[in-house]
Amino acid sequence: MLSYKNIIVDRKDAATKLLDVIPMNKLKEEAWDIVAVSRGGLEVAACIKGKLPNNLEILFLEAIMAPNNPECEVARVSETEEIVINEQLVSAFEIQYDYIYGEAHRKHEENILSRIYQYRKGQPFPSMKDRIVLLVDEGSESGSKLMTALKTVLVQGPKAVYIAVPVLPSDVLETLEPFVDDIFFLHDIGDYVETALYYEHLEPINDEKIEKILEELK
């Protein structure tokens, strides 16, 4: 674990290094749609896109926490209301599915819709049917964000789906691989702790930073 500490300087450094493993010629020529799955992923994705004409979107997701443990994520919902559930945790904590679906609806109505209006002026996430999609994040503890984004995109019938993520757990890599065409990464870590450990600087991204990134993309 300690051998991987601070192996990436910041999100810009992560994106720069990912450029060496992503087939950028294909990304440009095939007009891949770049989709960030988190705030940090948006900054990484924007650096990957650079001045290329590719479309870049952010997909809004919300975590659903265990009813008696606000720090334990048991499911995640996307803005298209696709849900990925951690079946093992739900079973272990004897959580009712009605709770999961109720929380998913509440999070969608209270949190996700407000972000859609704030950042996209109410426009829905665009269809990825017959498109080539690159999902991007800054890292992954459990894989829930990437799995939820992947489910959201796959139901739309894309031509191909790729993932770009600087660091991720080895078991998450194994879980994701069967569902995508390829995964571009820098380090898969067996004893993954938390993403911030692997960056020297991982500054929080507030609303102003997101709006600035999206404005620059225009």
Q: Which two tokens stand for residue 180?
A: 């995508």
The tens digit of pLDDT for each residue in 155-200 reads 999 999 999 999 999 999 999 999 999 999 999 999 999 999 999 9
Distance from C-alpha of 139 to C-alpha of 146, rounded to nearest angstrom: 10
pLDDT value at position 3?
A: 78
Q: Kindly report the number of other CB atoms within 10 A of residue 161's CB atom.
A: 22
Confidence of residue 214 (pLDDT cuts 50, 70, 90): confident
pLDDT digits (tens, 9 = 90+) for 29-65: 999 999 999 999 999 999 999 999 999 999 999 999 9
Q: Provide the CATH topology of domain 2-59+128-217.
A: Rossmann fold (3.40.50)
CATH topology (fold) of 62-120: Ybab; Chain: A; (3.30.1310)
Rounded CA separation 74/99 (Å): 11
Residues 98-153: pLDDT tens digits? 999 999 999 999 999 999 999 988 999 999 999 999 999 999 999 999 999 999 99
Task: Locate all alpha helices (DSSP H) within the chain, ordered by sequence.
Answer: 11-18, 24-29, 39-49, 87-92, 97-107, 113-120, 144-154, 170-176, 207-217
Q: Is the pLDDT of residue 2 over 70?
A: no
Domain ranges of the chain: 2-59+128-217, 62-120
pLDDT recorded at residue 4:
84
Secondary structure tally for the chain: helices H, strands E: 9, 8
Around 46, how many Cα atoms within 13 Å sit in the side-chain half-sphere?
Answer: 19
Residue 36 parent element (H or E): strand 33-36
pTM of the model: 0.95
Say which residue the tokens 């939820």 belong to.
148
Rounded to whole angstroms, the Cα distance separating 155 from 47 reads 28
- Tell me: the pLDDT tens digits for 74-102? 999 999 999 999 999 999 999 999 999 99
Per-residue model confidence (pLDDT) at position 53: 95
